[in-house]
Structure 1
Amino acid sequence: MLQAKYEKRGPVPQDVIGAVEVETPDPGPGQALVKVVAAPINPSDVLTLTGEYGMLPSLPAIGGNEGVGKLVALGPDTEGPEQGQLVLLPVGVGTWASHVLVDARKLIPLPGEADAKQLAMMTINPPTALLMLNEFVDLQEGDWVIQNAANSGVGGYLIQLAKMKGIKTVNVVRRESAVEGVKEQGADVVLVDGPDLHKRVREAVGEGKVRLAIDAVGGAATDHIANCLAEGGTLVNYGMMSGEPCQVSPANIVFRGVTVKGFWLAKWFENASPEQQRNIFGQLTKLIATGKLQAKIAGEYDVLQIKEAVAAAASGERDGKILIVPV
């Protein structure tokens, strides 16, 4: 079987990882062998390769944190899904591979008639978007939320989830070429970032109030969306795509009462009960399986093409997610 393996980290993510062939293992007691159907490359995966993410696996490691596959075999005296069943893979098992050996108890059966490639992206970005919409501000129908990096995976899910709740979105991107693609997702307003963003947002929302701002960029972009918040609004940061620390003016924090908070899905998983986790994934599975929640796919690559795939995922010009789809 093939695995995308890395033994070091470095500033150019595609340079540290490569495809290696290893013998396909037989599952032991309690284990399951799963053939990977699809696994995405997320920004957190790229940062893991460069060593900049908040939680790093020990080396050597196999890339990939989420994905779906079909059960090939169960180990002796092991209960689990039936052979050929589509399953959600456990987080962090190294999904950029043709096959994975996992704890059979952690496999979650998925509806076989659903789009497996869409389900492969379910574990990280959709719950991040849903929880940021739900956990920080009690948004009501007709309220406004602003986000930057709106053309990202999380951004696309957030637009769709907000629309289902009757919440309006202001969506900020860093290049004009990204505007049309975000509009196609159902965005109410799409604007290119800049120092005068708050003036253009006020014109767009009229008498509406922006109560929640979601920042994935950091640097000056954080203050740009903080400036757009209503007095007493909340800004949630979940990323640093600019590579720069968040900048928020004291005028926003002191005089306008803006609250700044952070969100990391891994930390939420640590604190959430099994019931809370089942509830979130139950909602998302239903929405994705019925086609109500979708993400754009920019490209599909085999494990042998892992260097090209990582380079494409690290590029800022793509429109959609990069998937590893083993042949």
Structure 2
Amino acid sequence: MSLCLSFSKTGNPADVLELIERPLAPLTGHEVRVHMRYAPINPADLNFIEGTYGRAAHPPAVPGHEACGEVEEVGPLVTSLQKGDVVIPLLGTGCWSQHLTAAELHFAKLPPGIDRVQAAMLRVNPVTAWHLLKKYVPVTEGEWVAQNAANSGVGRALIQIAKGLGIRTVNFVRRAELIPELLALGADFVFIDDEGGLAAAKQMLKDEKITLATNAVGGDSAIRLMDLLSPGGSLVTYGAMSRRSLKVPNKFLIFKNLQLHGLWISRWFEESGTAELAEVLEPLTKMVAHGEIVTAVDEIFPITDFRKAILRAQEGGRSGKVILDLA
């Protein structure tokens, strides 16, 4: 038997989640059983349980978009994995479980010595940040990228990845106390996300070009990023933290010819082939293993304290990710 978190109806995660026990079936063919170790609680996980995510939940369902674990058993036809291998699931959901069984192609093998907690947070935020930097505009060493929500999981990953690639970042946050820690993380400049911060960024940049800006907020914050972009630049929207629509002033389309894109990393995972997944995961895995991408952790809760973990993840002012210890 194995424990997992499940919900039979959508709603407030702290109310609808239940810790249940379910049997472990014998493995067949290419199936692999992974003993899951750690899983972060992401906003997408909470939205999925609430029924407000881009993909509808079909309860009863096990949530959890990412995690890390070790292979416990393999089916008779498995060739790419063996018992003891460290892996992360590539499935869209179902990670908040002590055991996860799926075909071997749905797992990515990681180096044996990698930090399991950090590895559990590899699939979503670092992959999103890498995609933002690599898939829309060719940004090269020494050039600038701007972003709002720079203290978010994706924002922090983007700062660290950009630093490793020699790309410079202009970052916007809502609270001044976040500025020193983002500068210590490798950000080149950090400003408050308001009109004063925009003016300061423009003064700092002078005639420097910014061809890429990443938007996780929407509303006025996105307009400020568009104002900062150089003519012909691209704005990539991957979140809407303000819950305000993206309204584009006509002048940015007519006179600046800005390009607008949207990114939902879950869809990219669904549509990507094995080679494309490997192309992205390989360099990111090395960066995580070498400590070049470090995701801050607020608190780790055992799976039996899942309600405390959910409530903590819903609070503002945390110092990092809330993690479920699934063992």
TM-score normalised to structure 1 length: 0.93
Determine the structure 2 residue equivalent to 1:287: 287
Query: Conserved in 1, the CA contact under 8 Å of 2:51 and 2:57?
Result: no
Distance of 1:198 and 1:212 partners within structure 2: 16
- The one-character-per-residue Cα deviations of 1:74-95 (angstroms, maximum 9, x if unpaired) are 2456555322221222323411
Determine the structure 2 residue equivalent to 1:5: 6
Give how far 1:213 is off: 0.9
Give how far 1:162 is off: 0.9
Distance of 2:272 and 2:76 partners within structure 1: 33
Q: CA RMSD in A?
A: 1.9
- The one-character-per-residue Cα deviations of 1:103-137 (angstroms, maximum 9, x if unpaired) are 23433322111111111111111111111111111
Distance of 1:6 and 1:61 partners within structure 2: 6
Determine the structure 1 residue equivalent to 2:301: 301
Distance of 2:273 and 2:76 partners within structure 1: 31
Distance of 1:183 and 1:214 partners within structure 2: 18
Query: Conserved in 1, the CA contact under 8 Å of 2:10 and 2:59?
Result: no
Determine the structure 2 residue equivalent to 1:203: 203
- The one-character-per-residue Cα deviations of 1:163-213 (angstroms, maximum 9, x if unpaired) are 122211111112223223322211111111113332111122233222211
Distance of 1:74 and 1:53 partners within structure 2: 33
Determine the structure 1 residue equivalent to 2:242: 242
Distance of 1:167 and 1:193 partners within structure 2: 21
Distance of 1:101 and 1:273 partners within structure 2: 21
Distance of 1:77 and 1:141 partners within structure 2: 45
Q: Which runs of 5+ in 1 are unaligned?
A: none
- The one-character-per-residue Cα deviations of 1:220-269 (angstroms, maximum 9, x if unpaired) are 21112111112221111001111221122222222222221111113323
Determine the structure 2 residue equivalent to 1:55: 55
- The one-character-per-residue Cα deviations of 1:304-327 (angstroms, maximum 9, x if unpaired) are 122222222233311222211224
Determine the structure 2 residue equivalent to 1:175: 175
- The one-character-per-residue Cα deviations of 1:267-302 (angstroms, maximum 9, x if unpaired) are 323443332221111111122122222211112112
Distance of 2:77 and 2:236 partners within structure 1: 47
Query: Conserved in 2, the CA contact under 8 Å of 1:236 and 1:262?
Result: yes
* Overall identity of the aligned pairs, in %: 33
Distance of 1:17 and 1:219 partners within structure 2: 32
Query: Conserved in 1, the CA contact under 8 Å of 2:39 and 2:121?
Result: yes
Determine the structure 1 residue equivalent to 2:315: 315
Three-state SS of the structure 2 residue aligned to 1:196 is helix
Give how far 1:147 is off: 0.6
Determine the structure 1 residue equivalent to 2:165: 165
Between 45-54 and 98-107, report the one with greater CA deviation.
98-107
Distance of 2:8 and 2:308 partners within structure 1: 18
Amino acid at match of 1:203: Q
Amino acid at match of 1:135: K
Determine the structure 1 residue equivalent to 2:111: 111
Determine the structure 2 residue equivalent to 1:137: 137
Query: Conserved in 1, the CA contact under 8 Å of 2:215 and 2:237?
Result: yes
Q: 1:24 to 1:208 in 2, by over 3 A?
A: same
Q: 1:188 to 1:77 in 2, by over 3 A?
A: closer
Three-state SS of the structure 2 residue aligned to 1:227 is helix
Three-state SS of the structure 1 residue aligned to 2:228 is coil
Q: 1:140 to 1:57 in 2, by over 3 A?
A: same
Query: Conserved in 2, the CA contact under 8 Å of 1:93 and 1:102?
Result: no
TM-score normalised to structure 2 length: 0.93
Distance of 2:189 and 2:260 partners within structure 1: 23
Distance of 1:204 and 1:132 partners within structure 2: 23
